[in-house]
Amino acid sequence: MQKEVIPILDFGSQYAQLIARRVRENGVYSELVRPDIPADKLRAMNPKGIILSGGPSSVYEPNSPKCDPAIFDINVPILGICYGMQIGALVLGGQVNPAKAREYGRARLSVISDDPLLHGLEGDMTVWMSHGDQVQQLPEQFKPLATTPTCPFAAARHRERPFWGVQFHPEVTHTPRGQQIFQNFLYEICKCSGDWTMGNFIDQTIARVREQVGDGKVICGLSGGVDSSVVAALLHKAIGNQLTCIFVDNGLLRKNERSLVETTFRDHFHIDLRTNDASEQFLHHLKGVTDPQQKRKIIGREFIEAFKREAQKIEGVEFLAQGTLYPDVIESGHGYAGTAANIKLHHNVGGLPAELGFELVEPLRDLFKDEVRKVGEMLNLPESIVWRHPFPGPGLAVRIIGEVTKERLDLLREADAIVLEELTAANLYRKTSQVFAVLLPIGTVGVMGDARSYDSVVAIRSVETTDFMTAEWSRLPYEVLATMSSRIVNEVKGISRVVYDISTKPPATIEWE
């Protein structure tokens, strides 16, 4: 079944992915495409409607992104957002000029004309502005729909063609009623049926995987993270015992991680799971290494070697599954309109496709992270896996500042386990985005019993974020932090001090290395 699709021409907006997510949240599949996609390719997608995103450029700059003017002849509804409105107005005869001052922030929008796009939004409402140019003059063919004190045409539509434009950003949370605008566009104007559900996605993906794989064998690099776990569960549902999962124990895992993965996938799902214990190999090659990038390179290289050794024991494998997500496709720079060739490789697979010559199976490449979690829930993966916080591919190696040794790994493992135990006990795990402990390369003086000690320092990092591109440090309750600190110092021999990281991203990153 051909799913309904709303292509989004991406003019470089920082919110482009957010537009796609808002459309999908309303039950309609959306896909980001190049801004200069030819009209005939767009028409071939059989879109129910088209959205033109915002962007940082001025429409009059020589190298600013432009769209094919013929898209306005496709005769499907088009919604232009900010820069997208300016492009549409310009192509259709309007005039765009620099605003007297760049508008950035909240504004009061007044609806002045009845229209399906703004149905149910009559009166005034708060919207988020972020633009330097704006439409200053509307041709006769346009009808103004809404205004703000500084923007005379904050929303407008063409009287004859199905083009609507808004100068503000309905996709951001700072426009509280923006979701209503998307619902109006998708259902009142585009007449979508809303058939994009995770249940439909699972059924369609299973059919697609069976068609691609046939009776061939597939191997999947399983890390225990959300993405690879959902891939494994989805493929097992599709092809059963044609799937073999390989779990590489690199010795850099969290406490009880290997046990969780083996119990979940081998015992609960009855998946053919092969575990390769390469912990000594990894530690040997990390000996004496302190540079973060060097650590990552060594771990990536050794992972490929360990995975290859295990994969070569399985006869007749033709396919390699990995957990590429839609943001990976987009961020590769080649992911538009089905032309993705340079996919960012999953951190636990690295360069394996080229190394082993397998054909890739990427069942999640159309999904955002929140959609992956929904699929995991529908496949009955345990909550401890579906909602687990992100964990870096190099594991605890990049949460140990300085050299990685077995002793330092054991210290961090115990401290990190205490942090997560207390976070969960306080019912804060699902309310935070990523929480972990970091072992610092310093010792400080302390008192243990009646004796002075000179032991290690652990930092606790806790952040809240919606996209992991920016993050705010969590205001964890003092009593929770006090319990974490007390337990770590008293239960983990070798740690005498605990500190709390209160840095935002940017300028800091979430991980320390």
What does DSSP say about strands 217-221 and 472-473: parallel, antiparallel, or unpaired? unpaired
Catalytic: which of 169, 236, 346, 347?
A: 169
Residue in 82, 190, 220, 245 annotated catalytic: 82
Q: Where does 162-278 have alpha helices with state H?
A: 178-183, 198-213, 226-239, 257-262
Note whether 218 and 49 are within 8 A (CB).
no
Q: Do 127 and 167 touch, CB atoms closer than 8 A?
A: no
Q: Which of 439, 426, 414 is nearest to 474 (CA)?
A: 426
Is residue 236 part of the annotated active site? The answer reads: no
Task: Give SS3 for 322.
Answer: coil
DSSP class of residue 38 equals -
Nearest residue to 367 (alpha-carbon basis) of 31, 26, 19, 53: 31
Question: Annotated catalytic residue: which of 171, 310, 371, 513?
Answer: 171
User: What contacts 100, CB < 8 A, 6 or more positions away?
Assistant: 150
DSSP string, 348-401: TTTTHHHHH-PEEE-TTTT--HHHHHHHHHHTT--HHHHTPPP--TTGGGGGB-
Beta-sheet strands, E only, within 278-326:
317-321
* 58, 62, 65, 71: CA torsion to nearest 10: 100
Q: Name 30's bridge partners.
A: 6
Sign of CA dihedral 113, 118, 124, 128: negative
Told to judge if 67 belongs to the known catalytic residues of this protein, a careful annotator would answer no
Both tokens assigned to 401: 């500042």
Active site residue 192: no
User: DSSP per residue over 3-17, as a string?
Assistant: PPEEEEE--S-TTHH
**Distance in angstroms (rounded) separating the CA atoms of residues 313 and 331:** 34
Give catalytic residues, as residue numbers. Answer: 82, 169, 171
